[in-house]
Structure 1
Amino acid sequence: MAVTFKWLTRLFLLLCVLGLGAMAIAYYFASRSIPDFNQNYTVDGLSGPIEIVRDNHSVPHIFAQNDPDVYYGLGFSHAQDRLWQMLILRRTAQGRLSEILGEQTLSVDEFVRRLDIYNLSSASFQYQTDETKTALKSYSDGVNAWLKVVQSDALGRGAPELFLFSPQIAPWTPTDSLAVMRVMALQISNNLQDEILRAKAALTVGNERMRDLMPDSPNDAVMALPEYASLFENPPRSFSPQPTQHALHPIKPREFAGASNAWAADGSRAARKAPLLATDPHLGLSAPSIWMLARMEFSDGGVIGATIPGLPFIVSGRSDDLAWGLTTTYLDDLDVYVEKLNPANSDEYLTPNGYKPFIKKRVIVDIKDQLGKTIDMRWTENGPVIPSDSFDLGAITPIGHVTSINWTALREQDQSVSAGIRLMRSKSIAAARNAVSMHHAPGQNLILADKNSVALQVVGHMPKRDPNHASLGRIPSQGWLIQNRWLGDFPFSENPNSVNPASGVVANTNNKITDEKFPKHVGHNWGDTQRIKRLTKLLNARKVHTRDSFMEAQLDPVSYTARSLLTLIGRELWFKGEPAASGTVERQRQIALELLSSWNGEMDQHVPEPLIYTAWLRNLQQRLIADDLGPLSKEFYKVQPVFIERVFRDIDGASKWCDILPSSEIETCVDIARIALDAALLELSEQYGSSIDSWRWGQAHQAKHDHQVLGNIPLLSWFVNIRQDTPGGDNTLLRARTAGKGAEPYANVHAAGFRALVDFADPESSLYIISTGQSGHFLSRHYDDLAQLWRRGEYIPMTLDPELARSGSDGVMVLSPRAQP
């Protein structure tokens, strides 16, 4: 026995030594790809030296003797810090994720291939400006220069992920950057899912009740619509539960399309008599962040701000003369069409001029460790055909029909990258507005400030529809009817805008921006009806503003929604009855109501009230709709504040949602509010214990900065995911949108990955932050060094003064041109 124990001990120690050795070897090879920012390189493709100064937060400041080399330096810097992120974005655009990730991403590849994103991007190169063509080529040369350094110096394949997946990397091309731009357009739009869901809801409860569930903003009556069922013979009425989309799918769930806040004040509303601007775009959280900070020094001056690795320009930032921020417009730039097949020949579909053959193309999607899958791609005059198993399209597509989409993001002539570069180089609001006239998609609200003025400009091509369009673009329509076809685009001059308004302030939180009627309506579905109320209050509370007051608004955690809805849903429950016995359901309810009755709506991470409120509203909505919608109710998993308000104010008889149909009794809204609160408290007690005083919003509302590929792999997830307790909520200006479903329904999954504050009275005091760190390498100290600052609502300064950038540098790298033979 003693001998056995001795040998088992030796074996255990040997295994420990081997394990530690393996970990040391893995760490050595993985850490080889962490760049040395003090290393100099001789590279191909330069006309002169480039100096890349990294400040103490690893923000690259790029100096060169000519503009093409500046773009080269940005490409080199992006590849150094975010190579894996860039490769994944490129594979997403190409529809080639399954080659390395297997069958789990097959649906992503199939969808993207059917849109033909990559080929459209390749064809669009010819339509870019000469400056953009040069920028794209130089940027690509910079990326490829780093790839050559990685190969020649054996720098750990360039990213630790490449030890787990295919290390083969094709050179970066201008097409890759153009394709990344289209992927970002896909991520920001929710029109496809919205039309499908609206049709499914119409089939389930009809148009009248859909007015409650998916109301116009703000609370206007729904424009006259045909019943979806009346458009087609025998439309299907059975719906399949929507599977969870892979994190890399470019089309995000309807509730998590892009959002943002941005506002600006001119000198009349600024304490120091110079314009101010604040911006914080909202996208899904990830590690690393989609954003990377950078400064580019051109021959006519510097530009600094947020970039997206893969794109050769600063997406949101400032120069000495101009600052700009972006919010999602929710522009209705996509229509879903139901196309009728020829009963005698399924290779043909009906058009206004009779049956016509589909345009067809066959491609093979390669799948890791499996045979590839052949897909047959088809196009109609309206656009690509989307198969019925995508987004549950089969649920709204009658037999003998297929579905296609028309989308401004799918045009060969797209010049959006050229627009981005021209905007970055603009010196005034007038020049900026002229620059973005070239922008196709995605639709955005551009908030602008220069040294004297402020403006809001809607950018993106606005489709011109026939006033007699059958569905007004709100639900899928018959593709063979001429009145449903687009009539081109409105001229850019008709895009909504506001320049130097009398109020001195322009602002947008994805709220409704125009009262124009269809077809000049911009969109039916607006992304916010709540945050704008709070922002308006804060901006109007002061006659003049400072950078600090803008910061206060940007980080404001008070929920206008909580303040307005709690008085409605709890008005018959406050202070009712004698104190109940300890430990009873009634006592838990009384404690919760006592807390909420004195709560000011601040979504503070350290208190229980935000958690009780959020859980109550979530349970309440499901109880209101579950019996009416059946399985479809699962698709309305995010609380709709306007719907709740309509129900509890009984607008147009909306209180009928409170009655549970299968029940023999007639339930009131007070009954449902009480039942939902009890259910929420039971749920939270099971998760966090029975003592309400010990609950904390931040414990449930952790920001999930997860690695999109490695984040679900045991053990590795500990290294690559970043989790933090956070304040804010779904409808606060400090937006921190909850998941709404799954094992962590209150987790913060969609927030401001980038924030900026610009003060033209002292531009060098402007502030910036991103949600993780500059590096995409999880072993780098810059992988998460900005995350805690972001969580605490802090910022970092970024200067356009070259000497200040060099004085606090973390490294200075020089790229020298290789001598020509």
Structure 2
Amino acid sequence: MKVVKYIFGVLASLIVLIAVFLLFYFNHQKPEYQGEYEFEALEKPVKVYFDTYGTPHIYAANNRDAYKALGYVHAQDRLWQMELMRRVASGRLAEIFGKKLLETDKFFRTVGIHEYSKKNVAELKERKGKILPLAEAYLEGINEFLEGGKTPIEFAVLGIDKVPFTLEDIYNIAGYMSFSFANAQKTDPVVTAFANMGVSYLKAFDLDSTVDSEKIKSYTGGSDYVAIAGHVNDVLNQMPLAPFIGSNSWVLSPEKSETGRVVLSNDPHIGFSQPAVWYEAHLSTPDINYFGYHIAGVPFAFLIHNDSVANGLTMFENDDMDFYRERVNKEQSDQYWAIDHWENFEVRKELIKVKDTIDMEIEVRSSRHGPVINDVVAGVSKDQPIAMWWVYYQFSNHLLDAAHEMAIAKNIDDMRAAGAKIHAPGLNLMYGDAQGNIAWWAVGRLPKRPAHVNSKTILDGSTGKDDPLGYYNFEANPQAENPPWGYVYSANNQSIMNVKGRNILYPGYYLPDTRAARIVEVLEGERRISRSELKSLFMDSKYMGIQPMKELLVSELIQSDFNEKEREALEHFSSWSGYHDLETLGAAIFYPWMINIYELAMKDDLEKAFEGRGDKLFNSFMSTYLMKRSMPVFISAKESPWWDNALTEDVVEDRKDVVTVAFRETVKYLSERFGDKPENWTWGQVHTVEHNHPLGAVNLLKPIFNVGPFHLSGSEMVVNNLGFPYNKEKLFNTSFGPSTRRIIDFSEIDNSESILPTGQSGVPFSKYYDDQTQMYIEGKWRPVYLSEEKIKANSTVLILRPKKK
């Protein structure tokens, strides 16, 4: 008995010691939000006030000290995120995650963002740009924390060495952000594959009006477009970072606002992850005073407001990337035909380090158009190279210069000039100021393409006839300044471009106009809009245009032998108003029904056309903008060749057959997943979100690193854009949404408000790791202060001092 007691005593003591150690370790990991720290690189002391949500308000005697302090506090909250961000575009994820990320690294090494970054760093140093000393100061701050600060738990778990951050890292991060805006890499191979099936198959999709499907150029044989589409889709889905998806923004003029002053609203849509994308910070020196939203590892904020001006951003969705099939010399395979002569491929070697296994060396070829992307796709012949041409690579990168100049802008002219410096990615820059001006500019260099070119298919690279002809001037880009109707808005929908007095629709990957239509419906008219209405609009869940689709779907059902559960489900769907509130019935039926319709209609044709690879192509298609945009067109195309099952030669199926079978499969699926009673299929019950940390993939670590799950309203086709992958396995698991919601009110700048999806800090043991999550879910807000008096009244202070010599 004494032995048993002794053993239990020892075990209890061990448990207590472990608990004490963990408590000490967790407390040690927390960032320092008060006290003092000696920082050798500082010229003068800097005061950093952390408000009640962990946002740093940095007061410095000069700009360089302010950016050093920003780098330091940014790193103490987001060093792990910075490490991930700099590794993506440079193709260095396999170093820490192993061979499961090898294909991702091979893809990004081939794309070559890191090579472009080297050139831009050299150019920045040569021209001695204004941002150079500030960027270097920010890096000093990061590296100060890297050397002397606390080691993130992720570094310890994954065995990551601390390597100083460089200017190239900043440009690589900006390059990844720009690449994630581009949709062509996912869409163009899919459209080309469909084009090979025949023009009639393309008519069921809502390709924008600049594309004449009768003139689509396609190539039979040669490169395997199915494999390319599938590979790109797999690579992008494996990344442990959030892609940029879309966004909403609207700006009210004084005549439209209840306060009589400009009010700017913005909610950029980005893939959810933990930590969240934006890091908020307020910088104040004798020269600058602005509140900004920063990407990890980048010194300059992309979203800002100050006493005088405010901006917002959405994705323009323009097509700034093309793919060219190069013609290889059969006698000398290291050459390709360049208009009128054979030219050698540029070749470079890339060594990729892979954790726990041998390193891999790959060979990257580039043509005059850009890197050959299909060399890294298994099973695809190198005899039919596909080169990626991207506007981003055609000019020196002044994106960071533009971000800095937007932050310090004092008026509409300053903001316009800053926006004009951005050549890629394509963005909608929204603007409002204290003087009563509102504006929207589509920014980015827009290439002029020959009239015959369909930029959504693989083009001919050999003759030069499909090459861009030049670029439009910034003045031709879609834009509006102080329009008479009193507001500007953007929801990733297509806009009108005026070229020499002629309106044209520029080709792109524009999202359905359901969100845009709802925003206009709310803002249009003579009345003034209140702040409460603006907040409601952010959370609005009405699906504009759903009624005709509902009526068509119901009318196509063959209901003669429906069972009781199917009839009940149909009744719920028929009475659905199109809203996606928590208690809504009907929405949970609509989305899997649409997926089943697409599956039943398309998979058989794709399998027949592409010999067993149809499933891969279908999954790639379902991840593109084209699927979302095509819904009403696809359903309404009664004579579409997609409806007939290509695998049943003796029977000709029609739309009624597909719609009915899809409905029955939907009811069966929902019953198996959420229970037999359709009244339990409420949207709030089935629509959830979990903010995933890479280490949260380990079940034991999930409670520490992941945030959620939570039940949600909203959906992908509504203003409260909380979307999910269109597949049965993760049907209602939200993957993206507003990365922040902002209201900037010039009636009193301290009346401005914001919210983040989780919290400011990326350190799991910080009290700011997830403190905004429930507020975000409920559509609540928190204040954003610029005045020193209000900031100090609700803050702790960390003083950074120059180290005594």
If the length of structure 2 is used for normalisation, what is the TM-score? 0.92
Q: 1:473 is matched with which residue: 414, 433, 455?
A: 455
2:680 paired with 1:687: no
Going from structure 1 to structure 2, the CA distance change for 1:313 and 1:642 (only over 3 Å counts) comes to closer
Q: 1:216 is matched with which residue: 177, 197, 207?
A: 207
**1:497 is matched with which residue?**
479
In structure 1, C-alpha distance between the alignment counterparts of 2:238 and 2:58, rounded to whole Å = 31
Q: 1:206 is matched with which residue: 195, 198, 221?
A: 198
Q: For residues 78-227 of structure 1, what are the structure 2 equivalents within 5 Å?
A: 78-128=74-124, 130-150=129-149, 155=150, 157=151, 159-203=152-196, 205-213=197-205, 215-217=206-208, 222=212, 224-227=214-217
8 A Cα contact 1:258 1:282, kept in partner:
yes
CA deviation map 1:524-568 (0-9, x unaligned)? 321233211211211125622122222211110112253342122
2:401 paired with 1:402: no
CA deviation map 1:83-107 (0-9, x unaligned)? 1000111122322111111111111
In structure 2, C-alpha distance between the alignment counterparts of 1:641 and 1:812, rounded to whole Å = 48
Q: For residues 283-432 of structure 1, what are the structure 2 equivalents within 5 Å?
A: 283-390=270-377, 394=380, 400-411=383-394, 413-432=396-415
Q: 2:775 is matched with which residue: 789, 812, 821?
A: 789
In structure 1, C-alpha distance between the alignment counterparts of 2:227 and 2:768, rounded to whole Å = 46
**1:609 is matched with which residue?**
586
Q: CA deviation at 1:742?
A: 5.5
8 A Cα contact 2:497 2:504, kept in partner:
no
**2:702 is matched with which residue?**
717
CA deviation map 1:18-73 (0-9, x unaligned)? 46644653453344221121121111221211111000000111111111222112
Q: CA deviation at 1:794?
A: 0.8
CA deviation map 1:398-449 (0-9, x unaligned)? x722111111223561111111111111111221010121112211011111
More moved, 507-516 vs 521-530: 521-530
Q: CA deviation at 1:80?
A: 0.9
Going from structure 1 to structure 2, the CA distance change for 1:641 and 1:258 (only over 3 Å counts) comes to closer
Q: 2:66 is matched with which residue: 66, 70, 80?
A: 70
Letter in 1 for 2:619: K
CA deviation map 1:322-354 (0-9, x unaligned)? 111111111211111111111111111111131
2:726 paired with 1:740: yes
In structure 1, C-alpha distance between the alignment counterparts of 2:355 and 2:22, rounded to whole Å = 24
More moved, 59-68 vs 698-707: 698-707
**1:812 is matched with which residue?**
797
Going from structure 1 to structure 2, the CA distance change for 1:110 and 1:519 (only over 3 Å counts) comes to farther
In structure 1, C-alpha distance between the alignment counterparts of 2:379 and 2:424, rounded to whole Å = 24
| 2:442 partner SS | strand
Q: CA deviation at 1:666?
A: 3.6
**1:750 is matched with which residue?**
736
In structure 1, C-alpha distance between the alignment counterparts of 2:597 and 2:760, rounded to whole Å = 41
More moved, 324-333 vs 263-272: 263-272
More moved, 111-120 vs 375-384: 111-120
Going from structure 1 to structure 2, the CA distance change for 1:376 and 1:641 (only over 3 Å counts) comes to closer
2:644 paired with 1:659: yes
2:36 paired with 1:40: yes
**2:541 is matched with which residue?**
557
Q: 1:619 is matched with which residue: 593, 596, 604?
A: 596
In structure 2, C-alpha distance between the alignment counterparts of 1:263 and 1:798, rounded to whole Å = 19
CA deviation map 1:114-144 (0-9, x unaligned)? 2332232232134446321111011111111
**2:610 is matched with which residue?**
none
Q: CA deviation at 1:146?
A: 1.6
CA deviation map 1:679-735 (0-9, x unaligned)? 11100111111011223323322112101x212112101221112111111101000
8 A Cα contact 1:30 1:160, kept in partner:
no
Q: 1:531 is matched with which residue: 502, 511, 515?
A: 515
| 1:110 partner SS | helix
In structure 2, C-alpha distance between the alignment counterparts of 1:393 and 1:767, rounded to whole Å = 52
Letter in 2 for 1:77: V
RMSD between superposed Cα atoms in Å: 2.7
Letter in 2 for 1:147: L
| 2:385 partner SS | strand
Q: CA deviation at 1:508?
A: 0.9
8 A Cα contact 2:190 2:225, kept in partner:
no
In structure 2, C-alpha distance between the alignment counterparts of 1:23 and 1:104, rounded to whole Å = 34
CA deviation map 1:611-665 (0-9, x unaligned)? 1222222222222222222313233336935534224433xx5444333333444
Going from structure 1 to structure 2, the CA distance change for 1:647 and 1:185 (only over 3 Å counts) comes to closer
In structure 1, C-alpha distance between the alignment counterparts of 2:393 and 2:687, rounded to whole Å = 37
Q: CA deviation at 1:777?
A: 1.0
In structure 1, C-alpha distance between the alignment counterparts of 2:463 and 2:756, rounded to whole Å = 48
Q: For residues 516-595 of structure 1, what are the structure 2 equivalents within 5 Å?
A: 521-540=505-524, 543-573=527-557, 586-595=563-572
Q: 1:282 is matched with which residue: 269, 275, 289?
A: 269
8 A Cα contact 2:85 2:241, kept in partner:
no
8 A Cα contact 1:337 1:476, kept in partner:
yes
In structure 2, C-alpha distance between the alignment counterparts of 1:235 and 1:173, rounded to whole Å = 38
8 A Cα contact 2:177 2:244, kept in partner:
no
Q: How many pairs are equivalent?
A: 785
| 2:465 partner SS | helix
**1:51 is matched with which residue?**
47
In structure 1, C-alpha distance between the alignment counterparts of 2:55 and 2:73, rounded to whole Å = 9
In structure 1, C-alpha distance between the alignment counterparts of 2:393 and 2:349, rounded to whole Å = 19
**2:619 is matched with which residue?**
634
Q: CA deviation at 1:220?
A: 7.5
**2:611 is matched with which residue?**
none
| 1:570 partner SS | helix
8 A Cα contact 2:476 2:497, kept in partner:
no
Q: CA deviation at 1:752?
A: 0.6
Q: For residues 765-776 of structure 1, what are the structure 2 equivalents within 5 Å?
A: 765-776=751-762
If the length of structure 1 is used for normalisation, what is the TM-score? 0.90
Going from structure 1 to structure 2, the CA distance change for 1:654 and 1:389 (only over 3 Å counts) comes to farther
In structure 2, C-alpha distance between the alignment counterparts of 1:659 and 1:593, rounded to whole Å = 24
2:661 paired with 1:670: no
Q: For residues 266-281 of structure 1, what are the structure 2 equivalents within 5 Å?
A: 266-281=253-268
**1:482 is matched with which residue?**
464
8 A Cα contact 1:700 1:744, kept in partner:
no
**1:764 is matched with which residue?**
750
Give identity over the alignment, percent.
25
In structure 2, C-alpha distance between the alignment counterparts of 1:757 and 1:346, rounded to whole Å = 57
Q: 1:778 is matched with which residue: 758, 764, 775?
A: 764
In structure 1, C-alpha distance between the alignment counterparts of 2:212 and 2:542, rounded to whole Å = 30
In structure 1, C-alpha distance between the alignment counterparts of 2:540 and 2:525, rounded to whole Å = 14
Letter in 2 for 1:434: A
**1:446 is matched with which residue?**
429
In structure 1, C-alpha distance between the alignment counterparts of 2:448 and 2:403, rounded to whole Å = 24
| 1:406 partner SS | strand
8 A Cα contact 1:547 1:758, kept in partner:
no
